[in-house]
């Protein structure tokens, strides 16, 4: 299983939507349930975001490679989970 980091902001509506998609996809596909996502608040844990190239949240990195950034769709979150299990 590959390491997944998710950069977020506490009150970001797009981040909340991404969490909803993650929960929904994990209910639909048992393989996704094993994906562990390290959630990093870019304000509270700024040091952990250094070195990552992104402008918008949520931003997802799988093994330090950016897979998604910005407004999520169910398909884009599924692509993150697929990359994590591949």
Using one digit for the tens of pLDDT, what is the confidence trace for 15-32?
A: 999 999 999 999 999 999
Interval 54-75: pLDDT, tens: 999 999 999 999 999 999 999 9
Domain count along the chain: 1
**Which strands make up the sheet holding 59-62, listed edge to edge?**
37-41, 4-8, 59-62, 65-69
pTM: 0.95
State the residue range of the domain holding 44.
Answer: 4-85
The proportion of the chain whose per-residue pLDDT surpasses 70, expressed as a percent, equals: 100
> Residue 41's pLDDT is what?
97
Mean pLDDT of 29-50: 96
Mean pLDDT of 20-46: 97
Q: What is each CA distance from 65 to 5, 45, 68, in whole angstroms?
A: 10, 19, 9
> Residue 1's pLDDT is what?
83
Residue 27: CATH number of its domain: 3.40.30.10
> Residue 82's pLDDT is what?
97
């Amino acid at each position: 299983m590959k390491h997944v980091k998710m950069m977020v902001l506490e009150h970001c509506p797009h981040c909340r939507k991404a969490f909803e998609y993650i929960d929904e996809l994990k209910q639909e596909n048992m393989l996704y349930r094993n994906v562990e996502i390290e959630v990093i608040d870019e304000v509270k844990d700024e040091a952990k975001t250094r070195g990552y190239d992104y402008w918008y949240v949520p931003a997802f990195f799988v093994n330090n490679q950016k897979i998604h950034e910005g407004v999520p769709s169910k398909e884009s979150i599924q692509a993150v989970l697929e990359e994590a299990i591949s």
